Amino acid sequence: MKTLIVDEKNSNKKIDRYITAVMPDLPFSIIQKTFRKKDVKVNGVRVKQDYIVAPGDKIELYITDTLLEETVQRNADRQDKGFEPVYEDDNIIIVNKKQGIPVHPDKDQPSGTLIDNIRKYLKENNISIAGTSSFQPMLCHRLDRNTGGLVLAAKNQESLDILLEKIETREIKKFYLCMVKGKPDKNSAILKAFLFKDESKSRVYINNNKTPGSLEIITKYKLISYDAKHDISKLEVELVTGRTHQIRAHLAYIGHPVIGDGKYGSNTVNRPLGAKRQALWAYKLEFDFKDAGKLNYLKSRTFEVKPEFKVL
């Protein structure tokens, strides 16, 4: 919860405009949602958006501290490009994405996304884009907003077509490191289940049996280490299929949620650890091309970064 005391300078205006003025990092969409949920009180009484604030008014916003902290961090992330280049040539660029930035525009952030910033970076650095002048660099796969790590982008249409095919045929493999609650029964396993995506809730659901609209998911994991004192495991995870929220939802489904994950994890676990962001990083890409045409020079290449999440 956030408490505000109205000062003389910002008084005599509608309450939603007052909140925007004193909390510029808070998106107006969140402010509107808070009013819709009737989670705004003035002097202990719920009010609507047209309430005119007066000096000394005590405003209480029932917004979670986690959301407020993420909003501040998200806006800080927007001040830089949100990534570091890892590898680059005339055809592709691989970047290490920071947590907190979406890969593509969404309703909460229509600009300043990863693909926007990659295009801006290439333009500002006068990096030529092979192929037609009309082609805009495009991402070959996605990461969740709060998942950091390696993202691959193509600089021309021919490279994009090749890379998408290689991802489909699993000649490009994606590996993640994560910290999870508990210790899995097996040191390594291939998990299979079915995933249903509920667009209205921006959430996915896992089931062992096929249900209408669900898609098969396959997730491999290997135990790297186990901290018995805190009951936390470090896992390497390979995505065989690449569905929305697959790793987070699948590991939570088997009883081992990712530390710091507020959606599929547990706040009772995350809070004592001070984990405000999910401990999940796309840390390695393996290229194992059979025949990749103009990209054959990338055959048998591996790109790896060190995860930046912190736990304990």
Q: With residue 169 as reference, give the H or E element that holds it.
A: none
Contacts (Cβ under 8 Å, ≥6 apart) of 142: 103, 104, 151, 242
Active-site residue, from 39, 144, 261, 288: 144
CA–CA separation, 270 and 260 (whole Å): 5
User: CA-CA-CA-CA torsion for 254, 258, 263, 265, nearest 10 degrees?
Assistant: 60
Contacts (Cβ under 8 Å, ≥6 apart) of 292: 162, 166, 171, 298, 299
**Bridge partner list, 285:** 174, 303
Q: With residue 19 as reference, give the H or E element that holds it.
A: helix 15-22
CA–CA separation, 282 and 303 (whole Å): 11
CA Rg, the chain, in Å?
22
Rounded to a whole number of angstroms, the distance between the first and last alpha carbons of the chain is 25
Contact 232, 181 (CB under 8 A): yes
Sheet (strand 40-42) strand order: 2-5, 58-61, 40-42, 45-46
Contact 215, 265 (CB under 8 A): no
Question: Residue 109 carries which DSSP code?
Answer: -
User: Is 77 a catalytic site residue?
Assistant: no
Q: What is the set of active-site residues? A: 144
